[in-house]
Amino acid sequence: MHPPELRFSPAAWNRNFQQMEKSNCNFSWGLTDKSAIVAYIAAHLGSSYQENSDESVIEVDDLAIVPKYRDNLFSLIKAFVQELASRKLGDFAIETLATPETGRFLKDHNNVLVKLGYEIVCDYPFFAEDTKRDLVWIRIEPRDGSK
């Protein structure tokens, strides 16, 4: 889902995932094919990106999947949601900063989130001065009745 200049090689994926584990990233999951990581999600408990808010949210730092494994996206997100529920964090909103491509992909697949009891409720495109790139802030909330 990332543009070519942001894509990792398989070796870089492995290094990145191992580094997240060493840094006590609160939540991280990977899908492997044999010993190679083919998809992962990394998130942590943090503060909302909303202005004037001190709300605690689950911040997704990265979601990556090798294109030929896209059919496994549901399984990866399901593992994420189940882990949140088991840790009694299922009522927390989820926020992420994404590339426009990833933002569109997530919005196009909002039905996957809905099946898991969540939905995209807000997205806001902006230009990040520090990275000199367009990004999208996305907020995903538990659906009513899923708590």
Residue % of the chain over a pLDDT of 90: 30
The CATH number assigned to the domain holding 38 equals 3.40.630.30
Instruction: Tell me the pLDDT band of 145, cut-offs 50, 70 and 90.
Output: low
Choose between 12 and 7: higher pLDDT.
12
Residue 34, phi-psi category: left (phi > 0), alpha (psi -120 to 50), beta (remainder): left
- The answer to the question of residue 21 being in a domain is yes
Half-sphere exposure (Cβ direction) of 90: Cα atoms closer than 13 Å: 19
Average pLDDT, the chain: 84
Task: Tell me which residue range forms the domain holding 39.
Answer: 4-142
Pairwise pLDDT comparison (136 vs 23), residue with the higher score: 136
Assigned domain for 50 exists: yes
Does 126 fall in a domain?
Answer: yes
Residue 80 lies in a domain: yes
147 assigned to some structural domain = no
Classify residue 69: in a domain, yes or no: yes
**Between 42 and 97, the higher pLDDT residue:** 97
Question: Domain tally for the chain?
Answer: 1
pLDDT in tens, 63-72: 888 888 888 8
**Residue 55, phi-psi category: left (phi > 0), alpha (psi -120 to 50), beta (remainder):** beta
- pLDDT-based confidence at 123, cuts 50/70/90? very high
What are the pLDDT digits (tens) for 9-60?
667 766 766 776 676 667 778 888 887 778 888 888 889 988 888 899 999 9
| Six-digit token string for 10 | 């398989």
Indicate the residue type of 14: N
Q: Report yes or no on 71 lying in a domain.
A: yes
Q: How much is the pLDDT for 2?
A: 57
Write down the pLDDT at residue 101. Answer: 87
